[in-house]
Amino acid sequence: MSISLFIKPKGKKGLYTYRRRVPADLKAVWRDGKPQGEVKVGLKTANKAPALKAGAEANLAFEQKAKNIRLGLQDEAAKTALEKLEERKWIIQTATQMLEQEGVLPEQQPKLNVGATLHDLQEWDDKVDLIKGAVVDALQEKYIDHDQRNKDYEEGRWGQKGYQAPYKPEDPNDADIVKLELLS
């Protein structure tokens, strides 16, 4: 296991950093299917004690993510009910964190003061709609059955009135589907 927490502050600001190598069996899928060899987390402090605490939290998050990715790679039939619940919980937490970063969760809705215009609220609604549209587009692209659509195109069915694109079955544990559920 290769874990390192820089004890000496690094960089111009002297902030501590948590660094850890991604295990070889997880490198290919660590970050949404994109290869990644190392995780670096800025601990946002120049003081050693808070850096150690933040480093421990970052390490715990790393271990949890590794466990859940391995669980996701495991054969579905071999998973216990508890493992399936843990996986679902982790996916919901991950999707929620992604939406929190975008600032579009319902609890992040702007609070309007008396006499304020509705412009701020409309901007937030527009941002939610934009994020929701991006998630829907990603889901449509991910779940469309391209082979069947190409076959339909060649046979002249594609583009006909009432034609609906063929979709593969959705995975209820897909993070994008969970994000759409949360936004909806």
Closest Cα partner for 90 from 60, 135, 132, 129? Answer: 60
Contacts of residue 43, defined as CB under 8 A and 6 or more positions apart, other chains included, come to: 15, 16, 17, 18, 50, 51, 54, 55, 58
Task: Look up residue 158 and give its amino acid.
Answer: W
pTM above 0.75, yes or no: no
Better-scored residue on pLDDT, 133 or 33: 133
Is the dihedral angle over the CA atoms 29, 33, 35, 37 positive or is it negative? negative
Residue 108 and residue 46: Cα distance in Å, rounded?
Answer: 30
DSSP H helices, the chain, are: 48-73, 81-102, 119-143, 146-154, 175-183
- Each residue's pLDDT tens digit, 135-167: 888 888 888 888 888 888 888 888 788 888 888
The per-residue pLDDT for 33 is: 60
- For the segment 31-55, the average pLDDT, to the nearest whole number, is 81
The per-residue pLDDT for 8 is: 53
pLDDT > 70? residue 176: yes
- Each residue's pLDDT tens digit, 51-100: 888 888 888 888 888 887 887 777 767 778 888 788 888 888 888 888 88
Percent of the chain with pLDDT over 70: 90
